[in-house]
């Protein structure tokens, strides 16, 4: 899509580069898949929370799914209107709940009876009615990585169906609560349709029975995120089939579908650029040491996630397996294991693909490493959307505390 060599020269490495046109195409494809039904794509801010990325989706009409008041603030600062902002998460502090109610967002997604109690209390104190949705845990195995599976009773997320029923009845009777939605999210990087359809069916049945038995009319059917992407050779779900699987469970219901995609919108639009520092061998093992590390892109270390890597210029020589490792003092600091690469030289540029979701956002300052710069490319034009962190940025909060 673009000349990575000149971007690396202009902005330095390590560097994140995002293709804003590819992000827009993904957004439009998914939005189109829900045509004919009221729908809201609430972008999962956690996937890539850069203000310019969130703003890009906001301008396309997206809402925002947020998991902290920080993300709520980010989304609204980036231009997402309050009536498209959702606040989810298993542990919200009182001050976060208060601010979400005061900001009058679309709804707060509650994840336990205890939490609903706090929301009710805080709304009553503020003399407001809090719009809520309840996250149901449908006990479905999404068949994805255990760390990103969330729809089983073993996971900390949501409440079971019986608890949800009880909560809706209680919320419906409360002056301070307005139950407007229902939510589920069974996991991330989903590549199979059946678990999604099954979960949707279970939750849709609950909506019907709440209507029939207690007269509760929910307005939003929030199916969470999770749509998988291709990192390697995965077979992924087509947006149209995804939408159809959900819509087929909602026949005869007048309800807005809310969807919270993160990875689908950003993963394959993002590239992580890193330069080779050295090659080395320990015995027969080959290492390519690069200037990017686990503090920049954690997914390989944390999940053994695979990311396709390519060289920015053609290289002579036969590719042989190498571990691509960073400068961080951890054996777990790698971007790839046994990856076939031709001989590399100091300064060569490598491109780590599919890095637009859960890349920069999961970064840290471990080993006093400043986080990378971020660049957007749109209609052939590149622009900086986050400055590279300096040493001064890293120590400012500590220096302020020195005598
Ligand atoms: N909605 C809820 C309630 C979620 O928990 C998540 C992701 C999403 C939406 C967005 O899911 P997506 O469409 O991006 O799959 N760090 C991991 C992924 C963690 C996902 C957490 N929740 C990774 O790098 O694979």
* 172, 45: one domain: yes
Task: Quote the pLDDT of residue 381.
Answer: 97
Residue 103 CA to ligand 1 centre (angstroms): 24
Nearest partner of 218 among 268, 285, 165, judged by Cα: 165
CA 79, 83, 89, 94 torsion-angle sign: positive
Q: Which domain holds residue 254?
A: 20-265
For 6, the token pair is 């000149």
By DSSP bridging, strand 220-222 and strand 320-325 are unpaired
Instruction: Supply the residues annotated as catalytic.
Output: 329
Q: Ligand 1 pocket test: pick from 135, 188, 227 the residue with the most ligand atoms within 8 Å of its Cβ.
A: 188
Closest atom of ligand 1 relative to the 302 alpha carbon: 24
- 135 CA closest ligand 1 atom index: 3
118 and 188 share one domain: yes
pLDDT < 50 stretches in the chain: none
- Residue 108 to residue 88: CA distance in whole angstroms: 6
Render the burial of 343-371: b for 16+ CB within 10 Å, e for the rest: ebeeebbbbbbbbbbbbbbbbeeeeebbb
Q: Find the residues whose C-beta lies inside 6 A of ligand 1.
A: 44, 47, 65, 88, 148, 185, 188-189, 224-227, 260-264, 299, 357-358
Do 369 and 261 have their domain in common? Answer: no
Task: Say whether both 107 and 194 belong to one domain.
Answer: yes
**Distance from chain centroid for Cα 29:** 18
Nearest CA residue ID for atom 23, ligand 1: 358
- Among 116, 106, 10, which residue's Cα sits nearest to residue 377? 10
Mutation probe of ligand 1 site: the residue of 23, 44, 136 with most atoms within 8 A of C-beta? 44
Distance 361 CA to ligand 1 centre (A): 12
Same structural domain for residues 43 and 83? yes
Which residue, judged by its Cα, is nearest atom 22 of ligand 1? 188
Whether residue 191 sits in one domain with residue 330: no
CA of 45 to the centre of ligand 1 (A): 9
Handedness of CA 138, 139, 140, 145 (dihedral sign): positive
Yes or no: say if 239 and 29 are a contact pair by the CB < 8 Å rule.
Answer: yes
Residues 273 and 184 in one domain: no
Q: How many domains does the chain have?
A: 2
**CA 224 to ligand 1: nearest atom:** 1
Rounded to 5 degrees, φ, ψ at 353 are: -90, 170
Q: Classify residue 62: in a domain, yes or no.
A: yes
> Which of 265, 282, 315 finishes a domain?
265
Ligand 1 atom 19: residue of nearest CA: 148
Measured from the Cα of 263, ligand 1's closest atom is: 14
Spacing, Cα 333 to ligand 1 middle (Å): 23
Contact between 67 and 377 (Cβ < 8 Å): no
Q: Residue 301's pLDDT is what?
A: 97
pLDDT at 145: 65
Residue ending a domain, among 213, 232, 265, is: 265
The DSSP code for 284 is: T
Residue 296 Cα to ligand 1 midpoint, Å, equals 18
Q: What confidence score (pLDDT) does residue 315 get?
A: 85
Residue nearest to atom 7 of ligand 1 (CA): 188
**Closest by alpha carbon to 355, among 263, 287, 278, 237?**
263
Nearest CA to ligand 1 atom 6: 225
Q: Alpha-carbon distance 293 to 127, whole Å?
A: 49
CATH number, residue 289:
2.40.37.10
Mutation pick for ligand 1 pocket among 150, 186, 262, 361 (CB with most ligand atoms within 8 Å): 262
Q: Are residues 192 and 49 in the same domain?
A: yes
Residue 243 lies in a domain: yes
Helix, coil or strand: residue 392: helix
CA 56, 131, 98, 109 torsion-angle sign = negative
Task: Tell me the two tokens of residue 298.
Answer: 């954690």
- Ligand 1, residues 23, 26, 45, 46: which to mutate, most atoms within 8 A of Cβ? 46
- For residues 212 and 73, state if they share a domain: yes
CATH number at residue 39: 3.20.20.10
Q: Residue 403: inside a domain, yes or no?
A: no
Tell me, yes or no, whether 243 and 349 share the same domain. no
Retrieve residue 380's tokens. 């052939």
Quote the ligand 1 centre to 260 CA distance (angstroms): 9
Which whole-number Å values give the CA distances from 152 to 159, 168, 201, 390, in the listed order? 10, 21, 16, 42
Beta-bridged to residue 130, according to DSSP, are: 177
At 20 the pLDDT is 98
From 265, 283, 313, the end of a domain falls on: 265
Ligand 1 atom nearest 109 alpha carbon? 3
Q: How far, in Å, CA of 201 to CA of 203, rounded? A: 6
Q: Would residue 284 count as lying in a domain? A: yes
CA distance 183 to 137: 9
Tens of pLDDT, residue by residue over 198-222, are 999 999 999 999 999 999 999 999 9
Quote the ligand 1 centre to 193 CA distance (angstroms).
17
123 and 259 assigned to the same domain: yes
At 152 the pLDDT is: 63
Task: Kindly state whether residues 250 and 302 are assigned to the same domain.
Answer: no
């Amino acid at each position: 899509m673009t000349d990575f060599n000149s971007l690396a020269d202009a902005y330095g490495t390590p560097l994140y580069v995002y293709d804003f046109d590819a992000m827009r195409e993904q957004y439009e494809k998914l939005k189109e898949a829900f045509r004919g039904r009221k729908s809201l794509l609430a972008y999962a801010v956690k996937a890539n929370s850069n203000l310019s990325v969130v703003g890009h989706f906001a301008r396309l009409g997206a809402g925002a799914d947020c998991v902290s008041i920080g993300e709520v603030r980010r989304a609204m600062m980036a231009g997402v209107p309050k009536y498209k902002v959702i606040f989810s998460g298993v542990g919200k502090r009182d001050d976060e709940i208060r601010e979400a109610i005061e900001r009058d967002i679309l709804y707060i997604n509650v994840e336990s009876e205890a939490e609903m109690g706090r929301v009710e209390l805080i709304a009553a104190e503020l003399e407001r009615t809090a719009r809520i949705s309840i996250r149901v845990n449908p006990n479905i195995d999404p068949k994805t990585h255990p760390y990103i599976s969330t729809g089983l009773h073993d996971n900390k997320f949501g409440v079971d169906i019986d608890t949800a029923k009880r909560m809706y009845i209680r919320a419906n009777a409360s002056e301070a609560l307005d139950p407007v939605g229902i939510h589920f999210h069974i996991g991330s990087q989903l590549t199979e349709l059946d678990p999604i359809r099954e979960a949707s069916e279970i939750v849709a049945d609950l909506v019907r029975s709440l209507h029939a038995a207690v007269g509760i009319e929910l307005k939003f059917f929030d199916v969470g995120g999770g749509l998988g992407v291709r990192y390697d050779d995965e077979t992924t779900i087509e947006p149209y089939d995804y939408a159809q699987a959900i819509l087929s469970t909602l026949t005869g219901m007048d309800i807005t579908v809310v969807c919270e995609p993160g990875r689908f919108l950003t993963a394959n639009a993002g590239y992580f650029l890193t330069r080779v520092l050295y090659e080395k061998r320990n015995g027969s093992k080959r290492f390519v040491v690069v200037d990017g590390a686990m503090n920049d892109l954690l997914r390989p270390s944390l999940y053994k996630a695979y990311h396709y890597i390519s060289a920015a210029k053609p290289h002579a020589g036969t590719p042989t397996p190498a571990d691509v490792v960073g400068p961080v003092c951890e054996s777990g600091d790698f971007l790839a294991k046994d990856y076939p690469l031709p001989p590399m030289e100091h300064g060569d540029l490598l491109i780590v693909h599919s890095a637009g979701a859960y890349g920069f956002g999961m970064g840290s300052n471990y080993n006093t490493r400043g986080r990378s710069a971020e660049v957007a490319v749109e209609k052939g034009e590149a622009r900086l959307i986050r400055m590279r962190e300096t040493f001064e940025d890293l120590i400012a909060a500590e220096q302020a505390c020195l005598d």
